Amino acid sequence: MKRLSALFISIFLLCSCQSSINNSSEPASTAAESTVSVIEIESEPMAESVPQSSAASEVKTKPLSYKEYFSQEREFKTESEPKKYKDYLYFINKNDVSVLYQRELGSDYLCRKNMRSGAVEVILEEPVDSIAVSDSKLLCIVNSKQIIQIDLEGKNRKVIYEAAESISSLRANAELIFFLRNKTVCRMYRPTQTIDEIYHNNDLADYEPLSNVAIKWEKDNPDWLKYYDKTHDSDNAPNIPRKVSSIYNSLTKEEKIIPPAYW
């Protein structure tokens, strides 16, 4: 009887061990399979992410439509004369004491000075009214009738706009070109080449764009003109402001005079 009990116990222990071995082997196989499957799932999006990223970096921003661009005010940023780009200083050789190269290079020609060597050269042998730098290109008004674009060497000329009458006072950036025509401030939206006359005043002497829709403009101060007519005092002893400035917004149609304290 004791032998029979011992035999049953032995058989029970043997079955329990076998069951334990079988149970422990199954998760090992399942874990191995799940590891392979996880690696395969993760590797697929990683392989696809490279061309997607490259494609996104090559997409260029599409310019806004005319209506969308002028639906709100956007700050106007540009450079003012003289223009310095890389190793060169670009300038118009004016016939006055501020420029020393006039006799050798010709009045009103577009020139540049190498800031390292000091050498000066003419890059455009035509009368130039004003210049602007935009996107590594030079924009300028030539012969008072054309707005042209050239590279920094003065080559690859492209006519942007040609007027039937005199134009002057160019201000430009990558999106906009402003200029004067018959005491009128004109504006071109470059992506669509749309030209608008945004402000006219017979007393207008100068202007400066503040945004895509607003300008500051100047006229001679009537009080200064009266004083000068009587005294011919060009030194302005009483310190009368020579100009009167105003801001005009073509989007809101509002105009306001800037107090002299803010000039």
Q: What is the pLDDT of residue 127?
A: 94
* CA pair distance 218, 206, nearest whole angstrom: 5
> Smallest Cα–Cα separation from 234: which of 245, 224, 219?
224
Q: What is the pLDDT of residue 259?
A: 85
Q: What is the pLDDT of residue 29?
A: 40
Q: What is the pLDDT of residue 198?
A: 97
Q: What is the pLDDT of residue 54?
A: 45
Question: Pairing state of beta strands 158-162 and 176-181?
Answer: unpaired
Q: What is the pLDDT of residue 50?
A: 41
**Could you tell me how far CA 104 lies from the centroid of its own chain?**
36
Q: What is the pLDDT of residue 105?
A: 80
* CA pair distance 169, 149, nearest whole angstrom: 15
Q: What is the pLDDT of residue 31?
A: 38
28-45 pLDDT tens trace? 343 333 333 333 333 333
Q: What is the pLDDT of residue 61?
A: 82
Q: What is the pLDDT of residue 134?
A: 80
| pTM, full prediction | 0.72
* CA pair distance 90, 240, nearest whole angstrom: 35
Low-confidence stretches of the chain (pLDDT beneath 70): 1-60, 79-85, 95-103, 261-263
Q: What is the pLDDT of residue 251?
A: 95
| Complete edge-to-edge strand list for the sheet that includes strand 83-85 | 83-85, 88-92, 110-114, 120-124
- Phi-psi region at 86: left, alpha or beta (left = phi > 0; alpha = psi -120 to 50): left
